[in-house]
Amino acid sequence: MIDISTRVHDRDSIEFKIGYVTDKDVRQEDFLLGMWIFWPGGLDITSSTFSKNAFYRYFKSNVRLITPHFPLGQIVGGDAVPLKNILSADEGLDYRLRLFGSIVKSSLRDGCDRILSAEADDRTELCKTYASDALDILKRYDSLEVPRQYVDEYRICGEFICNVTAASMFRLVDNGLACPEISSVLYKVRDIREAMGYARVKPGDAEANKEFISRQGLVKKHVEGPLFLKAPKTRDGFLAEQAYYSIAAGLAMLFATVVAWAFQRQFGNLTWPLFIALIISYMLKDRIKELTRYYFSHKVGSKYFDNKADIRYKDTKLGELKEGMDFVKRDKIPREVMDLRLGGSKTDIPEAGESTLLYRKKLHIDRDALDRISIYEHEGINDIIRLHFEGFLKKADNAVSYVGYLGEDGEVVKVPCERDYCIHIVFQYDYEGSRDLKLFRVYINRDGIKEIEEVR
């Protein structure tokens, strides 16, 4: 199956996490993904104003393993597998500590999401259980004894666990779910940070706070490193393209040679007709070559993708991916995609000049290779797509317009009105012989992203 979630990453970019979850009974599995982006006409994003290179400049994709899933209460309690994997390690403890930290983060996030989506009457009890499980993890990890050569790794992972635990607790507090159990967890995090000398926020100390944010990012990347996969990209269809271009050059040369041979046979060597024919044939040869190259380049573009890559974990190949983008004319858009786009519109006025960009990806996963690389079972691969919008807003209007309004007292005032653009994004994804679609709306202006809404 394919699972898609999204969030606003920062002021100018959104992030889509696309989970390619494999079927355990299917050893070789293929996934197809189409990302249809409908650009408002006012932004003037078309094939003539926005090239492939420009698109990939503002588009980023990383692939990583899906974090092994464990409920929060099954990480250190009883015969918990994550804790057991640390305690039983004879070697490679650094790898197991980092995976432990990643599992804790994932379980905290999932547990927090579950609480916030639960019925209001159930949230208090869920919060108490959640905080109690988180406190058990902090205490158990803090009590671990590791060999001297792994102390630094242990400290880094401990700092990471403190960071993600505090962030999850504050997320609940921000949603009005403060309780004594959450306070106990936050006090424990504070005590561990002070005892271990971890970086932490200090009110009024700008330099320490800047260091905390910087180190938090470094710690996160280090701990989650074992989950990230290598996928160096190369051009797809390069050899075929060169072969087609060689054919184009050959056809052009054949034309020029035939013309020269025919005129030489008719008029002889070193004659004016032959001289003129050679000039004209050379001119036409160049045009024939370019037109044939143009034709073949479109044939290659429709058959091949822009980029391809082998997905690797260290030296083990886990699969392949291919990606490509093109602008698509409205009459070439699948009916089901267009129906979802139009059904998700908030206005009855059609968007004039709207253009459509299609980003497509094909991904193959080798389940056998996936099973060999880790002591844990990974469900599949996550593709983290980040789309940066600053490059697409160069022709956007001002974020605020001032409109005149006549008040009750007859006084004319200028009312500030925000000018937002609504970008519709339809995901079309195929797996296991089935097809699904999902629609998102992104509201954005020159000041950045205002909201992203999942419509269906």
Cα(452)–Cα(439) distance, integer angstroms: 11
Q: What is the pTM of this model?
A: 0.79
**Identity of the residue numbered 368:** D
Q: Is 65 left (phi over 0), alpha (psi -120 to 50) or beta?
A: beta
**pLDDT tens digits, one per residue of 327-339:** 888 888 889 999 8
Nearest to 382 by CA among 26, 68, 25: 68
Domain spans of the chain, in order of start: 2-57+310-454, 72-227, 237-303
Report residue 177 as tokens: 């779910």
CA distance 291 to 285: 10
The pLDDT tens digits of the residues spanning 119-168 come to 888 888 999 999 999 999 999 999 998 889 999 999 999 999 999 999 99
Q: Can you tell me the distance from the alpha carbon of 288 to that of 281, in angstroms, rounded to the nearest whole number?
A: 10
The string of pLDDT tens digits covering residues 2-30 is: 888 888 888 899 999 999 988 888 888 88
What digits encode the pLDDT tens for the residues 189-243? 999 999 999 988 888 888 888 988 999 999 999 999 999 999 888 876 556 556 6
Alpha-carbon distances, residue 399 vs 29, 393, 444 (angstroms): 46, 11, 9
Of the ranges 25-29, 34-38, 113-117, 179-183, which one carries the lowest mean pLDDT score? 25-29
The gap from C-alpha 44 to its chain's centroid, in whole angstroms, comes to 24
Q: Is the pLDDT of residue 448 over 50?
A: yes
Q: Is 376 helix (H, G, I), strand (E, B) or coil?
A: coil
**What residues are paired with 8 via a beta bridge?**
14
Q: What is the DSSP letter of 396?
A: P
pLDDT above 50: residue 414: yes
Res 366 pLDDT > 50 = yes
Each residue's pLDDT tens digit, 48-91: 888 888 888 999 999 999 999 999 989 987 778 888 888 887 77
**DSSP one-letter string for 41-64:** GGG---TTT--HHHHHHTEEEEEE
Residue 327's alpha-carbon distances to 96, 347, 388, in angstroms, are 45, 24, 18
Q: Nearest to residue 116, comparing CAs of 176, 45, 27, 201? A: 176
State what percent of residues in the chain have pLDDT above 70. 84
